[in-house]
């Protein structure tokens, strides 16, 4: 065997080993890499019960109710379940019904009390006239909100 072939095998082995280690690492830590829980996770008890966490979903159409001052109540939904949210504070510019939202807070008596609300916009870009003429609701897809339990399966279903 020439020295070049030895080096080729060594580098090949390095790449193979790295790939394997990376794959094992992701399988083990996949849950920790999830940025937020979904309403399904909260309802099905996969999310921490009283701890601070992030909840992501779509603002349900017709669910936004504004109260005194900056108080706002709305419902967050993924493809299956929904959770009602209470928030007092300034909403991002993109907040509207049908919009993807990631809220930080905790579950209190079945309601998610949010301290911070961030907007999660989608990957679609079009001029306003086209969005109007499409007439369909420009609400976002629920697909990006994957339950934490089976990330691989839902990701495969989405693609």
Partner 1 sequence: MWTWFHRLASPPSFYTFAERLAPWLLAFALIATGYGLIAGLWFAPRDYQQGDAFRIIYVHVPAAALSLSLYTGMAIAAVIALVWRIKLAEVAITALAPVGASFTALALVTGMLWGKPMWGAYWVWDARLTSELVLLFLYLGVIGLDAAFADRRAAARACALLAIVGAVNVPIVKYSVEWWNSLHQTSTILKFGKPTITTDMALPLYGALLGAYALAGVSALRRMQNVLLLRERRATWVRELLAERAA
Q: Is 8 in the site for partner 1 (CB under 8 A)?
A: yes
Beta strands 111-120 and 82-88, pairing class: parallel
65 or 158, CB closer to partner 1? 158
User: How many whole angstroms separate alpha carbon 103 and alpha carbon 53?
Assistant: 8
We find the least distance from the C-beta atom of residue 54 to partner 1, in angstroms, to be 9
Q: Is 94 in the site for partner 1 (CB under 8 A)?
A: yes
Q: Which of 67, 122, 149, 157 binds partner 1 (CB under 8 A)?
A: 122
Residues 6+ apart with CB under 8 A from 138: 98, 131
Q: Is 127 in the site for partner 1 (CB under 8 A)?
A: yes
- 3 state DSSP class of 128: helix
Query: How is residue 72 annotated by DSSP?
Result: E
We find the least distance from the C-beta atom of residue 146 to partner 1, in angstroms, to be 6
Q: Is 71 in the site for partner 1 (CB under 8 A)?
A: no
Structure tokens of 77? 């939904």
Which of the residues 19 through 38 are near partner 1 (CB under 8 A)? 19, 22, 26, 30, 33-36, 38
Structure tokens of 69? 């001052």
**Which of 55, 58, 59 has its CA nearest to residue 37?**
55
Give contact residues for partner 1 (rule: CB under 8 A): 4, 7-8, 11, 14-15, 18-19, 22, 26, 30, 33-36, 38, 56, 92-94, 102, 116-132, 138, 144-146, 148, 151-152, 155, 158-159
């Amino acid at each position: 065997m020439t020295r070049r072939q030895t080096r080729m095998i060594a580098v090949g082995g390095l790449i193979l080993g790295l790939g394997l280690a990376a794959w094992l690492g992701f399988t083990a830590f996949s849950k920790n890499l999830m940025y937020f829980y979904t309403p399904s996770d909260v309802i099905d008890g996969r999310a921490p019960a009283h701890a601070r966490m992030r909840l992501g979903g779509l603002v349900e159409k017709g669910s936004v109710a504004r109260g005194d001052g900056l108080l706002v109540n709305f419902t967050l939904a993924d493809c299956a379940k929904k959770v009602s949210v209470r928030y007092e504070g300034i909403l991002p510019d993109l907040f509207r019904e049908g919009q993807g939202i990631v809220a930080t807070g905790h579950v209190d008596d079945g309601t998610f009390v949010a301290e911070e609300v961030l907007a999660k916009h989608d990957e679609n870009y079009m001029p306003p006239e086209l969005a109007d003429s499409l007439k369909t609701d420009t609400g976002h897809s629920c697909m990006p909100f994957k339950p934490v339990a089976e990330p691989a399966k839902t990701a495969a279903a989405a693609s």
